[in-house]
Amino acid sequence: MIIGGSASQKLAALISKELDETLCPMETRKFPDGERYIRIGGNLESDAVVIQSTGYPQDQNLLELFLILKTLKSLDVENIKVVIPYFGYARQEKRFKSGEAISAQVVSELLEACGATEIFSINLHEDGLRNLFNIPAHNLSAMPLIAEYIEEHLDDPVIVAPDKGALGFASEIAGILGCDSDHLEKTRISPDKVETRTKDLDVQGREAVIIDDIISTGGTIINASHILRQHGASKIVVSCVHPVLVEDALLRIFASGVDDVIATDTLQSDASTISVAPLIADFIGK
């Protein structure tokens, strides 16, 4: 039985098709005062898989997920696998400044308390977040799916990480495709401002693919695309796993001169051309 939260309805449907499992009917709505209502239909069994990304509106999507899990638990569903393709609050997995809330820890504790028995996510911003759980927690990589797309659509590409943090993704894709990779140096000035240093890059006349886990405001990608253009890249394709794409980020990225933006459907967006459904189905089916 697959249960899709309101943030991941299409993805839940695709996963249920992949696994040939029933997609559970569910009613979700808001009361006039803004409070959430959920009702799970269908005949529940002892096992269930819940799919819900916890991107914007994070708090609403999280609360809905907690309501679903607790309801399943109270209706005697014993094994509840929870797939959170995009895990909101993953950036606050530790206390960076004294007095800060460790938000990811609160979320992980609530997921367990509400009945989750196993967690699956995709390219968690920090893999260490898995250690916050006392139940099995898996961090799957969408890089092979992105590599497959690149192989089908680009010629002799060079994969570029816009900062050191994304170097692992660039290397993973370059390793799969047997092509070159490189990275830029970025400094974050504030949540919506980054600076990227220019450096020598061998992209003259080549098709460049920028890869990152998340595109949020687009600042990181826009800086990187300017540098790649200055260095003579013939084509620039931007790719990411989680298209958070705050406000007009997608438009601003295209306006910076990139040729295409591709992302997965961990979050639904205009750039979501690659589905993670086969990846998730493969893992939860094991």
Residue 213 lies near ligand R5P (rule: CB under 6 A): yes
Number of residues that bind ligand R5P (CB under 6 A): 13
> Which phi and psi angles does 158 have, rounded to 5°?
-115, 130
Between vectors from CA 281 to CA 243 and to CA 149, what angle results, nearest 5°?
50
Residue 85 lies near ligand R5P (rule: CB under 6 A): no
Q: Name the catalytic one among 10, 97, 164, 186.
A: 186
The CA–CA distances, whole Å, from 72 to 16, 17, 87, 158, 222 equal 18, 22, 21, 47, 44
Residue 186 a catalytic site member: yes
Residue 212 lies near ligand R5P (rule: CB under 6 A): yes
Residue 216 lies near ligand R5P (rule: CB under 6 A): yes
CB 6 within 8 A of CB 61: yes
- Residue 214 CB, shortest distance to ligand R5P, in Å, is 4
Which of residues 219, 276, 280, 281 is near ligand R5P by CB under 6 A?
Answer: 219
Closer by beta carbon to ligand R5P, 64 or else 213:
213
CB 87 within 8 A of CB 121: yes
- Residue 262 CB, shortest distance to ligand R5P, in Å, is 15
H helix count then E strand count, the chain: 8, 15
List, in sequence order, the alpha helices (H) in the chain: 9-19, 58-74, 103-114, 143-153, 167-177, 219-230, 249-255, 277-284
Residue 269 lies near ligand R5P (rule: CB under 6 A): no
- Residue 55 CB, shortest distance to ligand R5P, in Å, is 12
Catalytic center residues: 186
Interacting residues toward ligand R5P by CB under 6 A: 163, 165-166, 194, 212-220
